[in-house]
Chains A and B, each alone.
Chain A
Amino acid sequence: MTNRFSWFSATSLTLGMAFLYLPILILVVYSFNESRLVTVWGGFSTKWYGELFRNEAFLDAAWVTLRVALISATVATLLGTLAAYALVRAGKFRGRTLFSGMIYAPLVMPEVITGLSLLLLFISIGMDRGITTIILAHITFGMCFASVVVSSRLVAFDASLEEAACDLGCTPVQAFFYVTLPVIAPAIVAAWLLAFTLSLDDLVIASFTSGPGATTLPMKIYSQVRLGVTPEINALSTLLIGFVSIGVILASLAGKRAAVET
């Protein structure tokens, strides 16, 4: 079939990409707008970026968010990898169904429910709310996403590799560190990135579980956005989009290079 990529496909792809990217593009363009009115073009300027960097509240929130994301993504990846290992490799154990249910459920659970339930837990055990509680909450949903990413790689992983390692003189622990871990490493990196961005991104769960003095960037943005569109938010959004895009593109290029090398 020579005419596989028809005009229909070309059109839907173009329109689809436009739909996905135009809003973001407009947001970025208007972050360089001289005028405070976000919908009227008043000439090129980077002054909102300057304003942004003078805004202590934003910088504080960014710092909180970064710390939360770094810690929670790391712990979530660790726990998620263990969970994936248990699901894929440990065979049958008591309560496995409940366990896999608890892994998959948070993926689709509405955030309001997760947030509310965690908050009520923290209150009933008398835990002060703050950065720690946000981190605990983010680890919980992050580990579920991480374990799904890692287990998809583990499923494809040839179990005889571990047997081969044992046959060649490894203890089971050595086999894990010398063979299993290096082979699933790309998935673990991907899982960490996912947990990290999910944590960076989260508004609802953080709003429920945070306490005084622990305002994350999404919470800060949300409180500003409710008041209307402002150029500072556009500038901040542009920066965030830029960071994430560069990160994702670099990660995928690295993945491609790794694929070529291996």
Chain B
Amino acid sequence: MNTRTPGQRLLIALPYLWLLVLFLAPFLIVLKISLSDLAVSRPPYTPQIDLSEGWAGLKDFFANLDFENYIFLAEDSLYINAYLSSLKIAAVSTFITLLIGYAIAYALARAPRRWRPTLVMLVILPFWTSFLIRVYAWIGILKTEGLLNQALLSIGLIAEPLQIMNTTTAVYIGIVYSYLPFMILPIYATLEKMDESLLEAAADLGSSRFAAFFLVTLPLSLPGIIAGCFLVFIPAIGEFVIPDLLGGSDTLMIGKTLWVEFFNNRDWPLASAVATLLLLLLIVPIVLFQRQQMKQEIGG
């Protein structure tokens, strides 16, 4: 069926147009505003397109766009540090999530077959409950007078309460906790599909169980590892809630910077420039992730 009926065209056009207007167009607007200047007006930036003046107005508009905001971002070490620190925090927490997530996914895949659906559901369940609430739950645990410190003090492991809340450590804990299911599920999916006789073959050919894991299991679960890492790393870079609620004033993350720039300082052009740079930072991993997803789709 090579020819399409008008109905079929409409089926495609509807979601397509929706995304063009509400996903793609907004980015172009962000880009445009990032090249504008802060002004005391409504909306608080200049220039604005004045269509009543026709072509001259449009030319005027383009003449007034500049890279001032980007130059400002480049010159102020606060922003550069925020980008770098976001990358570092995202990378470290992705790595920790991978270690913990792999162990759990591996255990899930080895669990007796009849338990597996229940166990998988238990892993997914927290994902369905509110993100905000799950982050909030850690405040009560990590506070100076919180439950963790109470427990550690009472068994005499520490003499002084630990300062975890409002530090980068708390942000790591928050990210690992919140994104753990995203790491477990893709890894579990690849491990579960794995043919068990491969391990028997490896044993038959003289590998120890340990060697078989590194030579067979790990390479075969690589697609799951990659997918999981993308799913944790990419959103973690732009994370706002976790650093805001659990992190301290010294925890720099770009998502939070953007929020503050926008809501507290009301500097929309600068916030837009921050967002544009964040997007540029993310384009490489997002494109890689998409490629991988498509490859999986074709393969599966």
Contact = CB atoms under 8 A, between A and B. Distances in A.
Contact of A27 (B140, B234, B289): B140
**Most chain B beta-carbon contacts within 10 A, residue among A20, A102, A108, A172:** A108
B55 interface: no
With a 10 A CB-CB cut-off, give which of A12, A85, A98, A247 has the most chain B CB atoms: A12
A82 B137 contact: no
B156 interface: no
A13 B19 contact: no
A262 to B, nearest CB: 16
Given A9-B106, A98-B24, 16 more contacts: A5-B112, A9-B110, A16-B107, A19-B180, A39-B140, A105-B290, A108-B282, A111-B238, A113-B279, A117-B29, A118-B22, A118-B26, A120-B33, A120-B268, A121-B21, A252-B121
A185 interface: no
B222 interface: no
Nearest to A83: B15
B125 A248 contact: yes
22 contacts: A8-B107, A13-B104, A16-B103, A20-B177, A24-B129, A26-B137, A27-B133, A82-B12, A95-B16, A110-B238, A110-B240, A110-B278, A116-B262, A121-B21, A121-B25, A140-B22, A143-B19, A197-B128, A201-B130, A225-B139, A229-B143, A244-B130
A1 B199 CA distance: 10
Please classify how large the interface on chain A is, using the bins under 10, 10 to 19, 20 to 34, 35 or more: 35 or more
B271 A116 contact: yes
B123 to A, nearest CB: 7
A79 interface: yes
A90 interface: yes
B92 interface: no
A108 B262 contact: no
Contact of A93 (B7, B12, B20): B12
Contact of A13 (B7, B119, B129): B119
By secondary structure, the A interface counts as helix
Interface of B: 4-5, 7-8, 11-12, 14-16, 18-27, 29-30, 33, 43, 100, 103-104, 106-108, 110-112, 117, 119, 121-126, 128-134, 136-141, 143, 145-147, 150, 177, 180, 196, 199-200, 230-231, 234-235, 237-241, 244-245, 255, 258-259, 262-263, 268, 271-272, 275, 278-279, 282, 285-286, 289-290, 293-294, 297, 300
A143 B272 contact: no
Nearest to B232: A108
Contact of A201 (B16, B131, B240, B272): B131
A225 B136 contact: yes
Interface string A105-126: 1101111110011101101100
A183 interface: no
Interface of A: 1, 4-6, 8-10, 12-13, 16-17, 19-21, 23-24, 26-27, 30, 38-39, 79-80, 82-83, 85-86, 90, 93, 95, 98-106, 108-113, 116-118, 120-121, 123-124, 136-137, 139-140, 143, 147, 155, 172-173, 197, 200-201, 203-204, 207-208, 218, 221-222, 225-226, 228-229, 233, 237, 240-241, 244-245, 247-249, 252, 256
B103 A225 contact: no
Nearest to B283: A105
A27 B232 CA distance: 25
